[in-house]
């Protein structure tokens, strides 16, 4: 079947009125849970699974997929408005998005995020339709050594995430790596940093750490001075993008879409890297890197596009190979199975209406999201005018409920409290939380792939150089380091890492 | 007036005496929660959700599935062990219930004394699979190949105590040969690497492998059950390949906290049996490459027997493999 007839089959399924309705319900619900801090798509899809029993397979999966990418949209809203990222990708958006909101530019930040996401979603959906099977095959060439090298490259390049002291940024990455070590070592089962608490055997919950270190810390900082607190942004300049804004976001959106589309296909954690990678790329390429971390619109548009593109392309390994790229995708596999379909290489041939219907519905869903979200920008921004004494207990409450709902583990709530205080102290010491979160997310992956590669090679480190993809990635990483230390470009580097004060 | 008071008093007295009996009879009057000690979307979760939906119809109350993952399923099990024994909090756990005592040094519950058994649910067969271009062609070849190449073969598993690891331990034990174990965070990522030819072998539940086998994406050598299975009828059993009496299936059981009213247990057993007989459940299980257990297995006695036997078996195998309890 050629692409056109496949797509027309897909659209005939997706444009069925009840499917449009459920697609809309999905993205609406997704936007809402994305906006509520902590309650992520994982918990929502898990709760809704039983309801989907009564729907037919296409409708059920179209709705669940809608929740997932809808939440990617919604998640950026709270990250921008109140510095409360619900997942790793939104953490990057929070860096510059929140600074924009503090300057009264919450509207443009939200609009840039929505437009970038729409563009990225459209392109990625097309990629998914055109190249899903070969892309998934190519991704399988990524084994442990390749992932290790990719993450090394990611970590080295992402030092640009910091806009303060480079030494502090490095310290934060290392601290993040250490926090990522908490829990049971998967290779030997040895508990590390668990203090005998079995609740910590599974490691620290990402959402709890992110909510604490970004959101709660920010609230504490706001509360320390009754008069200067600022979450209730007083002045909102404009809701829409200026011509200048448009000019500035075009290239970042294009690059973000490219980066996200490629990384999203990798099932071993590529989507996690996408927004970090896009942010680093934008900061490197920007003519005014000093603005990053202080409200650069490129720092919102790029990562948001990358994140949304990756969200779409991460369906590629799921739908063509039956392998989940992350927990939400694992849940989608459960949804497929509950519908009596085992996701795998056969789905595309045996269930063409389902496969193409879901793909077509993603495009429709993205359109619905833009229609839904752009008018809401004004409403969200208004939310900031809620008196802070009412807003902050609500934020804390929702964040705790949402986090608890993931695992029903009370230690996740303790973790929010602990990391809230720690995040506050870090702000006071002038350390930034973003590199810490990067280390926390990538550290465990780095270790896992390093050790697995070494086990497979039976202890021979040459495996990283003998395999061409891995060798290329490591060479790029080396080049990045050399560029950073070469004296002739020292001046440029200094511009990138402007020392504070 | 006097009579009214007397009637009231009698009524009150009667209701206290009959309280528990009445409660059991009316059970359930509120939604029942089944705790799954693993993340949503995994095979155990899927099995639970199918059963829960059917039981909910029979009990006339919503049966809610709650995922309490972490620490190899011991967190969720511990939570149910400590829950009120009123029949409203249940546990659906798999073979891990019997390996936990050997794998965890300080377990906050005793699988045998802290739970009341309701019944077995399903026994999911496992399959021995390998990357598409792995050399051996048949099960016989594979046995010879393993004996010859030993540690040069990479065997993927989902970490300490996972079903995939237990299967490997039993195979290595039977062949008296060690392979190189490569742990993953679950068999999902392990399957990715098997598809990509990054590793040689794995042993996983039919729920995860059937589709890939049928699509010819991976090579299958054997099933781990004593009999061949319906979905993959051409696959020999490991016993046929000379690994005598090899029997491994991921059995799932339904439990309540110890001390739950026997009348409630009886009600739940009946409901479980009815759910397992449901055609819809049977079909969905078949899609997963498994089948509901027979009605005489979905009983407290059968599950207790299974649990006791398996705890004894695994404490030996795990000790022999030198896996230390944490």
According to CATH, where is 3.40.190.10 located in chain B? 125-241
Give the CA-trace dihedral at A154, A156, A161, A162, to 10 degrees: 160
According to CATH, where is 3.40.190.150 located in chain B? 29-124+249-321
Residue B192 to residue A338, Cβ atoms within 8 A: no
Per-residue DSSP letters for B250-302? EEEEEEEETT--HHHHHHHHHHHHHHHH-HHHHHHHHHTT--BPPTTTSSHHH
Does A234 have pLDDT greater than 60?
A: no
Q: Give mean pLDDT, residues A35-57.
A: 70
Q: Which chain B residues have a beta carbon less than 8 Å from that of A409?
A: 68, 70, 75
Residue A239 vs residue B34, higher pLDDT:
B34
Neighbours of B311 (CB within 10 A): 17
Q: Give mean pLDDT, residues A101-109.
A: 84
Cβ neighbours for A354, distance < 8 A, ≥ 6 positions apart: A13, A57, A58, A61, A341, A347
Does A167 have pLDDT greater than 70?
A: yes
Q: Which chain A residues have a beta carbon less than 8 Å from that of B185?
A: 186, 448
Peptide bond into A69 cis (omega under 30): no
* pLDDT tens-place string over residues A434-484: 778 778 877 888 888 899 999 988 888 889 989 998 999 899 888 877 766
The end-to-end CA distance of chain B, in Å, is 68
* pLDDT tens-place string over residues A302-324: 999 998 888 888 888 777 776 66
Does A32 have pLDDT greater than 70?
A: yes
Residue in B70, B191, B207 closest to A202 by CB? B70
Q: Which chain B residues have a beta carbon less than 8 Å from that of A204?
A: none
DSSP structural state of residue B30: S
Confirm whether pTM is higher than 0.80.
no
Shortest CA distance to B77 belongs to which of B257, B288, B249?
Answer: B257
Residue B211 to residue A322, Cβ atoms within 8 A: yes
Q: Which chain B residues have a beta carbon less than 8 Å from that of A53?
A: 53
Question: Poorest-confidence range of A114-118, A187-191, A431-435, A447-451?
Answer: A187-191
Q: Give mean pLDDT, residues A248-274.
A: 82
d(CA A422, CA A175): 12
- Note whether A35 and A78 are within 8 A (CB): yes
Residue in A50, A186, A191 closest to B49 by CB? A50
Q: Which chain B residues have a beta carbon less than 8 Å from that of A452?
A: 182-184
Helix, strand, or coil here: B116? strand
Residue in A191, A321, A342 closest to B195 by CB? A321
d(CA B266, CA A289): 69
Which pLDDT score is estimated for A242?
Answer: 81
* pLDDT tens-place string over residues A393-441: 877 887 787 777 766 778 888 988 999 999 899 888 888 777 787 788 7
- Note whether A102 and A229 are within 8 A (CB): no
Which pLDDT score is estimated for B17?
Answer: 44
Does B16 have pLDDT greater than 60?
A: no
Residue B50 to residue A338, Cβ atoms within 8 A: yes
Instruction: Give whole-number Cα distances, B29 to A476, B139, B190, B257, in Å.
Output: 64, 53, 44, 18
Residue B283 to residue A340, Cβ atoms within 8 A: yes
Strand segments, DSSP code E, in chain B are: 32-36, 63-67, 89-93, 115-131, 154-157, 180-183, 201-205, 218-223, 249-257
Chain B nearest-CA residue for A329: B41
- Note whether A307 and A119 are within 8 A (CB): no
Confidence of residue B269 (pLDDT cuts 50, 70, 90): very high
Specify the CATH architecture of the domain B29-124+249-321. 3-Layer(aba) Sandwich (3.40)
Q: Which chain B residues have a beta carbon less than 8 Å from that of A334?
A: 40-42, 45-46, 49
Which pLDDT score is estimated for A344?
Answer: 67
Q: Give mean pLDDT, residues A222-249.
A: 67
Q: Does A144 touch chain B (CB under 8 A)?
A: yes
Q: Which chain B residues have a beta carbon less than 8 Å from that of A202?
A: 69-71, 75
* Cα B237 to the center of its chain, rounded Å: 20
Mutation site for B-interface testing, chosen from A205, A322, A331 by largest number of B Cβ within 10 Å: A322
Neighbours of A45 (CB within 10 A): 28
Residue B159 to residue A189, Cβ atoms within 8 A: yes
Residue in B41, B189, B211 closest to A331 by CB? B41
In words, the CATH class of domain B125-241 is: alpha beta
d(CA B163, CA B325): 16
Which pLDDT score is estimated for B273?
Answer: 93
Query: What ipTM does this complex have?
Result: 0.72
Residue A337 to residue B287, Cβ atoms within 8 A: yes
Question: Poorest-confidence range of B28-42, B123-137, B222-236?
Answer: B28-42
Strand segments, DSSP code E, in A136-276 are: 183-184, 191-192
> Which helix (H) or strand (E) covers residue A361, if one does?
helix A352-383
Q: What token pair was written down for A302?
A: 């790029």
Residue B143 vs residue A350, higher pLDDT:
B143
**What are the residues facing B129 on neighbouring strands?**
B202, B220
Confidence of residue A160 (pLDDT cuts 50, 70, 90): low
């Amino acid at each position: 079947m050629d692409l056109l007839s496949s797509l027309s089959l897909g659209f005939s399924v997706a444009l069925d009125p009840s499917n449009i309705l459920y697609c809309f319900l999905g993205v609406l619900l997704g936007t809402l849970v994305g906006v509520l801090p902590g309650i992520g798509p994982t918990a929502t899809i898990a709760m809704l699974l039983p309801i989907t029993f009564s729907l037919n397979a296409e409708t059920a999966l179209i709705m669940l997929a809608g929740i997932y990418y809808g939440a990617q949209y919604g998640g950026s809203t709270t990250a921008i408005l109140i510095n409360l990222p619900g997942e790793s990708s939104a953490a990057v958006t929070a860096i510059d998005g929140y600074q924009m909101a503090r300057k009264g530019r919450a509207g443009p930040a939200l609009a840039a995020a929505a437009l970038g996401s729409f563009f990225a979603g459209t392109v990625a959906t097309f990629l998914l339709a055109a190249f899903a099977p070969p892309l998934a095959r190519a991704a399988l060439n990524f084994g442990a050594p390749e992932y290790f090298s990719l993450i090394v490259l990611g970590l080295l390049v992402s030092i640009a995430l910091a806009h303060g002291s480079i030494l502090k940024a490095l310290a934060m990455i290392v601290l993040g790596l250490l926090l990522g070590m908490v829990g049971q070592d998967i290779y030997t089962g040895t508990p590390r940093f668990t203090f005998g608490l079995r609740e910590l055997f599974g490691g620290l919950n990402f959402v709890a750490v992110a909510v604490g270190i970004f959101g709660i810390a920010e609230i504490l900082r706001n509360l320390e001075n009754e008069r200067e607190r600022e979450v209730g942004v007083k002045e909102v300049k404009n809701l829409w993008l200026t011509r200048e804004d448009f000019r500035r976001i075009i290239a970042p959106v294009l690059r973000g879409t490219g980066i996200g589309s490629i990384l999203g296909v990798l099932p071993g954690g590529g989507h996690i890297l996408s927004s970090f990678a896009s942010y680093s790329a934008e900061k490197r390429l920007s003519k005014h890197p000093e603005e990053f971390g202080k409200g650069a619109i490129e720092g919102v548009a790029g990562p948001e596009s990358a994140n949304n593109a990756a969200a779409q392309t991460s369906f590629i390994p799921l739908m063509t190979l039956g392998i989940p790229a992350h927990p939400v995708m694992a849940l989608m596999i459960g949804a497929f199975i509950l519908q009596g379909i085992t996701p795998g290489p056969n789905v595309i041939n045996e269930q063409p209406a389902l496969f193409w219907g879901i793909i077509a519905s993603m495009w429709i869903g993205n359109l619905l999201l833009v229609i839904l979200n752009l008018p809401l920008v004004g409403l969200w921004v208004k939310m900031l005018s809620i008196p802070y004494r009412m807003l902050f207990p609500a934020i804390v409450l929702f964040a705790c409920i949402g986090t608890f709902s993931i695992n029903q583990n009370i230690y996740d709530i303790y973790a929010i409290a602990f990391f809230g205080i720690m995040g506050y102290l870090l702000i006071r010491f002038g350390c930034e939380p973003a590199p810490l979160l990067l280390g926390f997310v990538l550290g465990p992956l780095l270790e896992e792939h390093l050790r697995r590669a070494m086990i497979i090679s039976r202890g021979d480190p040459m495996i990283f150089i003998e395999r061409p993809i891995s060798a290329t990635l490591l060479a790029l990483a080396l080049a990045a380091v050399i560029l950073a230390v070469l004296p002739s470009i020292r001046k440029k580097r200094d511009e990138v890492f402007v020392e504070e004060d | 007036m006097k009579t009214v008071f007397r009637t009231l008093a009698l009524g009150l007295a009667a209701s206290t005496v009959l309280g528990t009996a009445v409660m059991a009879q009316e059970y359930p009057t509120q939604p029942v929660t089944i705790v799954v000690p693993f993340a949503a979307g995994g095979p155990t979760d899927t099995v639970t959700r199918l059963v829960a939906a059917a039981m909910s119809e029979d009990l006339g109350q919503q049966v809610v599935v709650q995922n309490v993952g972490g620490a190899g399923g011991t967190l969720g099990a511990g939570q149910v062990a400590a829950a009120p024994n009123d029949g409203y909090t249940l546990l659906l756990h798999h073979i891990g219930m019997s390996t936990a005592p050997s794998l965890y040094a300080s377990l906050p519950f005793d699988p045998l004394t802290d739970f009341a058994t309701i019944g077995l649910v399903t026994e999911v067969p496992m399959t021995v699979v390998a990357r598409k271009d792995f050399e051996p062609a048949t099960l016989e070849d594979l046995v010879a190949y393993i004996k010859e190449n030993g540690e040069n073969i990479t065997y993927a598993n989902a970490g300490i105590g996972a079903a995939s690891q237990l299967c490997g331990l039993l195979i290595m034990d039977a062949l008296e040969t060690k392979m190189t174990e490569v742990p993953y965070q679950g068999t999902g990522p392990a399957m990715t690497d098997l598809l990509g030819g990054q590793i040689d072998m794995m042993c996983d539940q039919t729920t995860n492998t059937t589709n890939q086998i049928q699509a010819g994406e991976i090579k299958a050598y054997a099933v781990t059950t004593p009999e061949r299975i319906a979905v993959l009828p051409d696959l020999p059993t490991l016993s046929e390949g000379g690994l005598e009496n090899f029997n491994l299936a991921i059995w799932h059981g339904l439990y309540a906290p110890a001390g739950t009213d026997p009348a409630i247990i009886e009600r739940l057993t009946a409901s479980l049996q009815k759910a397992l007989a449901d055609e819809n459940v049977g079909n969905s299980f078949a899609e997963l490459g498994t089948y509901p257990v027979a009605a005489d297995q979905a009983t407290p006695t059968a599950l207790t027997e299974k649990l006791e036997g398996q705890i004894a078996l695994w404490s030996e195998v795990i000790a022999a493999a030198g896996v230390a309890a944490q």
